[in-house]
Amino acid sequence: MKTRKGFVSNSSTTSFCLYGIYLEEDQQKEWMETYNKIKKWDELESYSAPYTDSIYLGKSLAKLKDDETGKQFKDHVKELIRNYFPDTKDSDFCIMENGWYDG
């Protein structure tokens, strides 16, 4: 028997689990402008839920390294995000997960 580990997606379902921030409306515009200019994203990922204006920015928990602690992972994500949004407070960061069916 095979066990599938990792992200699974097809044309009708999508899901994610990441550590990061929810982008407010003014941040979303800034992020999209930056996103269109820069090709390498310092390991950051962004997700937008369908039928909403929500954008989530962070790093997938699946990318936590075997020799990395949770604190090291979170600190690294905070550092990456603060390169783009330096005023982001620690209280803005959290683990976010979402999934939806589009079919």
Instruction: Give mean pLDDT, residues 64-83.
Output: 94
Mean of pLDDT values over 92-96: 93
> Which residue range(s) make up the domain with 56?
17-97
Q: Where are the beta strands (DSSP E) in the chain?
A: 13-22, 45-48, 55-60, 94-101
**How sure is the predictor about 41, in pLDDT bands with cuts at 50, 70 and 90?**
low
Is 46 contained in some domain?
yes
Averaged pLDDT for residues 68-95: 93
Q: Is pLDDT at 9 greater than 90 in this prediction?
A: no
| Structural domain total, the chain | 1
Has residue 10 been placed in a domain? no
The stretch 87-101 carries a mean pLDDT of 87
Is 51 inside a domain boundary? yes
Report DSSP state, residue 10: B
* Cα→Cα distances 61→29, 36, 42, 75, 94, Å: 25, 25, 15, 13, 11
Per the domain annotation, does 11 fall within a domain? no
Structural domain includes residue 42: yes
- Residue 98: phi and psi, rounded to 5, are -155, 155
pTM, entire model: 0.74
